[in-house]
Structure 1
Amino acid sequence: MVESRLATVLNVNDDDANRYLVNRLLSLAGYNVLEAATGMSALLLAQQHRPDVVILDVKLPDISGYEVCERLRADPNTSAMAVLHTSATFVTSDKKVRGLDGGADAYLTQPFEGAELIATVKSLLRLRHAEQVARNRANELAAMDRRKDEFLAMLGHELRNPLAAIMTSIGILQRRPATDDKEARMRGIIQRQTNHLARLVDDLLDVSRITRDKVELRPGRLDLMPVLRHVLQVTQPLADARGLALDVTLPAGSMWLDADATRLEQVFTNLLDNAVKYTDQGRVTLHVAQEGVDGSARAVVRVKDTGIGIPRDVLPHIFELFAQADTSLERSRGGLGIGLTLVRKLVQLHGGEVTAHSGGPGLGSEFVVKLPLVDAVGLPHAARNAADLRRGRRILLVEDNVDARQAMRDLLELWGHQVAVAPDGLQGVALAVSNPPELALVDIGLPGLDGYRVAETLRHRVGNGIRLVAMTGYGGPEGRDQAMRAGFDRHLVKPVKPDELDRILSEL
């Protein structure tokens, strides 16, 4: 608490006798006292000396005490000062209400006892101290939160770089037949666990954005069916490894949404991954149908399993952060307890809803996602020839990580592309200027000249004919926006899946 002998009080009153009396009472109580006879001089002193408490008479010769208080509150430099209104004239309840509504902390009617004045000042000082402690704590928490976000961003970058090299290498191995069954199994294990690590990194970084409401969508018109088929390609090996049947029912036609494909993939990967992880035997079912017609039509995706189920007391909280159905000590099924929180938030951002159902422990679970459908009229049709999409291109790869660079080069050359590589931004620019490629894959975190400056330089010196793709371990929306401003055409977050890279190259 602020001690009285250290506290400073500004006493504002145009009556000399009254001002002297209050000054004397405050001095005897051990306060440092400043005095002013007008509202304007009070504002000047408040700016210069930053008193702890302002005792402010309402009736002043220039501007009223009400206006002085409002100006103190409006100025960030003086807004935290405690203000005590006093008056011998404005003593009715409506005047007191006006003063308190205008920002005063207390209101005393003159004449008042000296003990009452000192007790009120002490009370205001205690209040001011408590507010200052809370303000300091809030600032400390905000600073800690910023440092945490910076750490998570750096952690994601450092984890994604080696994951990118591993995932690209797996993509190369998968295109060559295995020598025996054991090698095939080992490849499958590496691929599944690498995908799992990549999802954990994504979830870890996204949960930070979700708690601050900074998750952004990049929506576009898309068909839900290819998204689900791609998720099933990832899930099928996981189900096979656990000996589970994966039953899938998809409609014959398309289901068009206005959605972010990457985020929807994250939603259904989380749900199917959980279903497989929490099921020891039996089956996992994915059923997709449409409900409603015209403007109210929705896609209904059901993910059902015969697994451990969800206890009745856990079910209402299953979408909360860090909630898990498996609360046993060994936590053998792993996970961070953040996947379903992400699912709910991402579904809500798409204008949909997700619900969870379970009969209890041992009776399995079902998650139902409903997403609004859009009219398919006017959707673009594929116009390019598939052979043209697959033709070899001249590609420049700018990547400082040796393993990631070599693996990516091998993969691109395996696809028939001509690849030039550079380990830093300066060499990348030099190669692009001397022999312009059709497309450049540029890492953002490069030594010397970062990826943003590489893109800006290439746009200036090579022109708009070159297609630029940013590759980065930083997955936040800020980085994506900065990449677009720098001149990139696409922004990919490491580790880049081979099929995703192949699709991007075809589209560009």
Structure 2
Amino acid sequence: MIELEERRVLICAPMGRDGELASQVLRGAELACCICKNWLELTAELKKGAGLILTVEEVLTPEAAVSFSSFLASQGTWSDLPVLVLTKSGGSPVWLQGAYERFGNLTLLERPVRAPTLVSAARSALRARLRQYEIRLSDQRKDEFLAMLAHELRNPLAPISSAAQILKFVAADPDRVKNTVGMIDRQVVHLTNLIDDLLDVARVTRGLIRLQKEPLDLAVLVSHAVEQVSPQINLKQQKLSVDLPDEPVTVLGDVNRLIQVFANLLNNASKYTQEHGHISVQFLLSPNEVVLEFADDGIGISPEMVPQVFDLFAQAKRTSDRSQGGLGLGLALVKNLVVSHGGSVKVLSKGLGEGSVFSVSLPRFSEANFPEDFMPQQKNEYSPALFQPLRLMIVDDNKDAADSLAVFLEAAGHDVFIEYTAFDAIKRARSVCPHICILDIGLPDMDGNELTAQLRAMPETASATYIAVTGYSQETNKKKSLAAGFHHYFVKPVDAANLIKVIAVSGPQRNQSKNVMHS
């Protein structure tokens, strides 16, 4: 938030009428001004904030120039305060020698100065100053975000670490093992969701999200979102009311992304609403538009925060004893996804303690106004097949990751071989002739893409299926790996059920003509 004081033009021209005349001209251009009678007043006002200093060369005596340059040198790294100095025509004052090095962002205007010239110079300087404030705000948000990210990542890591210690002592107690494993699984899901939010925001803001649009009933999507968030709502004993419409309300959209939008808004409402609070979802219908209102009677939003609530990394100030968590990504993601569906989103709040209402507007669609070339997305379904144990080779330099995946796949009935380097994998492949190669990309001696190319050139593994399991999630990495010969691409942590499905349809004589990216 840029304060009014930070937009001011501080004028220090105590002799003659320069200060008064400059103030009249600038105020006539709707620029805020503050006249300082002397250098002492200017210094005091600078501490409150300034967008620009306008002064005259007579003020910059050698002593004042030294003091002035010392103040400018003490600015934050983000700040480069503009200084306009009105000079006499002709001549070269002593203070000007080395002035650009001492004062930095310095502009000289020779008197007499025409009013349009003064206004133009002031506006240009203030525009540059505004960009500095935006950089400062961005840096502040980044620092707050990194602090919150560290906090959010430590939260699930703590119980995972404790669970690992517990498992060392309760191996003989099946019930405690089951409960501990369940705790680990829940925390891993939480960590995965945090990482997915980060990646989703990066992809959405860069326009890399590909929406799979089809006709959808919004009531069904809201029901799915409610199902996702119900455990949190029930835990806080909150009351949720959903006013579903009597008629079907159809939109053209991506089923997963719209559920994500609605679940995010419900999660946000629950997070910032006290125990036993109230949350509601209401449909407002018109012939061409549907508005979904997500209302709560929670902590509300301060007036200065409302315009920023959908900005990336934007978060209201919190105290350590009332930290609701989150990374400041959810609402930014909501806005981008809604806009990508041709809609809009807004928020209303009367202030702190007054609750909030988030409204999502989406265009309604009927059969008559679907695009002529619209084709619903075809879903890929894996056909069931009889179980067939396969020879699998895992190559990953992360020993824990490779070993744990091997244990899981062996438990599923497969023969698994593990190697931790690419060169050892090539040797092992010649002897075991694996049906499926599950490869990390970031190997130390040879990256997974090059390893795939070499394995595919060998007769023992030419017909194998190649599955990438990696921490690289960018679209460019996926495309590069699929082009190198991988049939499937998984991002860590792996969706185990999906991996088992892929393996089940990837044995000998299976059709491997398509390359598939898996989230």
State the secondary structure of the residue aligned to 2:385.
helix
Sequence identity (%): 34
Paired with 2:344 and 2:244, the residues of 1 have a C-alpha distance of 20
Paired with 1:414 and 1:131, the residues of 2 have a C-alpha distance of 68
1:379-428 deviations in Å (ceiling 9; x for gaps): 46668675329766554332222222233233334444444333233334
Query: With structure 2 as the length reference, what TM-score do the two structures score?
Result: 0.52
Which residue number corresponds to residue 315 of structure 1?
Answer: 306
Q: Answer yes or no: is the 8 Å Cα contact 1:326–1:333 preserved in 2.
A: no
State the secondary structure of the residue aligned to 2:443.
coil
2:192 to 181, 188, 198: 198
**Residues 415 and 457 of structure 1: is their aligned pair in 2 closer, same or farther, counting only changes over 3 Å?**
same
Q: Greater RCO between the two (CA within 8 Å, min separation 6)?
A: 1
User: What does residue range 171-210 of structure 1 map to in structure 2 within 5 Å?
Assistant: 179-180=174-175, 187=181, 189-204=183-198
| Residue identity matched to 2:400 | D
User: What does residue range 237-256 of structure 1 map to in structure 2 within 5 Å?
Assistant: 237-244=231-238
Which residue number corresponds to residue 421 of structure 1?
Answer: 418
2:332 to 311, 317, 341: 341
State the secondary structure of the residue aligned to 1:387.
coil
Which residue number corresponds to residue 494 of structure 1?
Answer: 492
Which residue number corresponds to residue 402 of structure 1?
Answer: 399
Name stretches of at least 5 consecutive residues in structure 1 with no aligned partner.
1-114, 133-137
2:451 to 454, 458, 461: 454
Deviation at 1:319, TM superposition (A): 0.9
State the secondary structure of the residue aligned to 1:444.
coil
| Residue identity matched to 1:424 | T
Paired with 2:324 and 2:432, the residues of 1 have a C-alpha distance of 52
Q: Answer yes or no: is the 8 Å Cα contact 1:192–1:237 preserved in 2.
A: no
User: What does residue range 335-484 of structure 1 map to in structure 2 within 5 Å?
Assistant: 335-370=326-361, 378-379=375-376, 386-388=383-385, 394-432=391-429, 434-461=431-458, 465-484=463-482
1:269-327 deviations in Å (ceiling 9; x for gaps): 5434323322232367685979677xx677x6654444323234422221123332453
**Residues 396 and 131 of structure 1: is their aligned pair in 2 closer, same or farther, counting only changes over 3 Å?**
farther
1:173-230 deviations in Å (ceiling 9; x for gaps): 9xxxx955x77665554444333333333445666677xx535113334686898787
Paired with 1:233 and 1:399, the residues of 2 have a C-alpha distance of 37
State the secondary structure of the residue aligned to 2:274.
coil
**Residues 287 and 451 of structure 1: is their aligned pair in 2 closer, same or farther, counting only changes over 3 Å?**
farther
Deviates more, 1:408-417 or 1:383-392: 383-392
Q: Answer yes or no: is the 8 Å Cα contact 2:468–2:486 preserved in 1.
A: yes
**Residues 473 and 328 of structure 1: is their aligned pair in 2 closer, same or farther, counting only changes over 3 Å?**
same
Paired with 2:474 and 2:330, the residues of 1 have a C-alpha distance of 18
Paired with 2:386 and 2:300, the residues of 1 have a C-alpha distance of 46
| Residue identity matched to 1:216 | L
Which residue number corresponds to residue 209 of structure 2?
Answer: 217
Paired with 1:227 and 1:505, the residues of 2 have a C-alpha distance of 31
1:325-371 deviations in Å (ceiling 9; x for gaps): 45346452122323322332343344433222345434433434445
**Residues 317 and 420 of structure 1: is their aligned pair in 2 closer, same or farther, counting only changes over 3 Å?**
same
Determine if the alignment matches structure 1 residue 485 to structure 2 residue 483.
Answer: yes
1:61-105 deviations in Å (ceiling 9; x for gaps): xxxxxxxxxxxxxxxxxxxxxxxxxxxxxxxxxxxxxxxxxxxxx
State the secondary structure of the residue aligned to 2:347.
strand
Paired with 2:308 and 2:273, the residues of 1 have a C-alpha distance of 20
User: What does residue range 33-182 of structure 1 map to in structure 2 within 5 Å?
Assistant: 179-180=174-175
Paired with 1:494 and 1:302, the residues of 2 have a C-alpha distance of 36
Paired with 2:249 and 2:494, the residues of 1 have a C-alpha distance of 27
Deviation at 1:118, TM superposition (A): 9.8
1:409-449 deviations in Å (ceiling 9; x for gaps): 33334444444333233334444555554543322222212
Paired with 1:504 and 1:254, the residues of 2 have a C-alpha distance of 36
| Residue identity matched to 1:497 | D
C-alpha RMSD of the superposition: 5.4
2:268 to 274, 282, 285: 274
Paired with 1:414 and 1:246, the residues of 2 have a C-alpha distance of 42
Paired with 1:289 and 1:499, the residues of 2 have a C-alpha distance of 36
**Residues 331 and 352 of structure 1: is their aligned pair in 2 closer, same or farther, counting only changes over 3 Å?**
same
**Residues 432 and 476 of structure 1: is their aligned pair in 2 closer, same or farther, counting only changes over 3 Å?**
same
In our comparison, the structure showing a higher alpha carbon Rg is 1
Paired with 2:276 and 2:235, the residues of 1 have a C-alpha distance of 13
Paired with 2:413 and 2:248, the residues of 1 have a C-alpha distance of 34
Paired with 1:322 and 1:189, the residues of 2 have a C-alpha distance of 29
State the secondary structure of the residue aligned to 1:452.
helix
Deviates more, 1:419-428 or 1:374-383: 374-383
Q: Answer yes or no: is the 8 Å Cα contact 2:343–2:361 preserved in 1.
A: yes
**Residues 323 and 486 of structure 1: is their aligned pair in 2 closer, same or farther, counting only changes over 3 Å?**
same
| Residue identity matched to 2:454 | T
**Residues 193 and 419 of structure 1: is their aligned pair in 2 closer, same or farther, counting only changes over 3 Å?**
same
Q: Answer yes or no: is the 8 Å Cα contact 1:247–1:283 preserved in 2.
A: no
Which residue number corresponds to residue 31 of structure 1?
Answer: none
